[in-house]
A and B are shown apart, each in its own frame.
Chain A
Amino acid sequence: MTQSTDKLIIGGREFSSRLMVGTGKYASFEQTARALEVSGAQIITVAVRRVNLDRSKESLLDYIDLKKYTLLPNTAGCYTADDAVRTCRLAREAGMSDFVKLEVLGDEKTLFPDNEELLKAAKILVAEGFTVLPYCSDDVIVCKKLEDIGCAAVMPLGAPIGSGLGIRNPYNIRIILENVSVPVIVDAGVGSASDAAIAMELGCAGVLMNTAIAGAQDPIAMAEAMKLAVIAGRLSYKAGRIPRKLYANASSPLDGMIG
C-alpha cells in the first residue's frame, strides 16, 4: 500500500491527506496560512461569524488559497439543532459548498456533544443535501444512528475539545470502527504527534485537530509533526502490527553462536 493509492473519500470527494486542521487560535493569519501549508491538510475547518463592519479588518480567507483547500465550516458555539441548522445554511450560502462539520454542544465546560440535538440537526441537514461530518461522542450507538441518517462520516472525540488529553478510550474508537462503514475521523483531544499516530493506527480514516497545532510553542513545526504522524500511523495500520507478547522473542538466530 503506497500513500498515493490510499485515498480518503468523503461525500464523493477524494483526498490524499488524512489530516484535517482547524484555522482558529493562531497568532496571525500568516501563521495560520503557513501551518496549513506545512500540515499538508486538504480539508480545513472554519467558523461562521458576523462580519466585522470595520472594513479595515482583514479576513482569514484573504490569506488562504481556496483552490487548494476544501473548506469545512463548523457550527461551533451552537447548542441547539435549530442554531446549528441555521449556521449550516449560512455556511453553504457563503461558501457554495455542502460540506459541514456539524457540532451541537451540550455544555460550555466540557464542550461535549448534545447527541439528541445532533441527531435532530443531522436529519434535517442530510435531507437538505448537506454532506454532514458530525462531531460526536465516542459512542458506537450514536455513530450508527448518524450513519443511518446519512452522514458522510462520523467524528468521535478522542478527549474534550482543546484538552490535548489524547485518545482516552481507544476501545470505544475500535468498537466504532468495527461497526460503522463511513469514515471514522477522530475529532478533538489530540495533543501531540503520538496521539495522532495512535488514532491512525487504530484504523481511523483521519484526524481533525486545531489546538494541538495552533497552541504548540512552534505551531509550524507541530503542523509538520502532525502531518508525518498521520502518514506514519496510517502506514503502520496498513502494514499490520505484530501481536503483543508478554515475553521476549529474540531477533538474532540462536544457531551459530560461538562456543
Chain B
Amino acid sequence: MRIVLNGDSVETADGGTVGELLQQLGISRERVAVELNADIVPKVDYDRRPLSDSDKIEIVHFVGGG
C-alpha cells in the first residue's frame, strides 16, 4: 500500500503499525511525535495503531530554532 509520509508518497507493507513504520525508518520513538491523518497518535498507541492505504503520516521532532 502507499502512504503519504512527511509529504512524500511511499510504499509500505500492508497491515503495519505506526510502531513498525518507525522501526523500519530507524527512528527512536522517544523523541518524535506522530500525526496520523491530522490526529496525534499517543506513544502508547504506536504498536496498536494500524496504517491503511492513503494514510497521511507526519513524523516530527525538535530542531534548532528560536
List residues of A whose CB falls within 8 A of some B CB.
Answer: 22-26, 29, 32, 45-51, 53, 55, 59-61, 71, 73-74, 76, 86, 89-95, 161-162, 188, 208-211
Contacts and interface: CB of A to CB of B under 8 A. Distances in A.
Contacts of A24: 63-66
B33 A71 contact: no
A195 to B, nearest CB: 15
Nearest to B62: A46
Interface of B: 5-7, 25-27, 31-35, 38, 40, 42-43, 58-66
List 4 tightest A-B contacts by C-beta distance, closest first: A47-B65, A22-B66, A210-B66, A93-B33
A25 B63 CA distance: 11
Contact of A51 (B42, B59, B64): B59
Given A93-B42, A93-B43, A94-B31, A53 B63 contact: no
Contacts of B62: 46-49, 59-61, 71, 73, 91, 94-95
B60 A90 contact: yes
A94 B61 contact: yes
Contacts of A188: 66
B60 A49 contact: yes
A254 to B, nearest CB: 53
A92 B62 CA distance: 11
B32 to A, nearest CB: 6
Given A47-B63, A53-B5, A86-B38, 18 more contacts: A24-B64, A24-B66, A25-B64, A26-B64, A51-B6, A51-B59, A55-B25, A59-B61, A61-B61, A89-B33, A93-B33, A93-B34, A94-B31, A94-B60, A94-B61, A95-B62, A161-B66, A162-B66
A51 B65 contact: no
8 contacts: A46-B62, A47-B65, A48-B61, A49-B60, A50-B7, A90-B33, A92-B33, A211-B66
A24 to B, nearest CB: 4
Consensus secondary structure, chain A interface? mixed
A59 B60 CA distance: 12
A89 B58 CA distance: 13
Contacts of A73: 62
Contacts of A61: 31, 61-62
Nearest to A56: B26
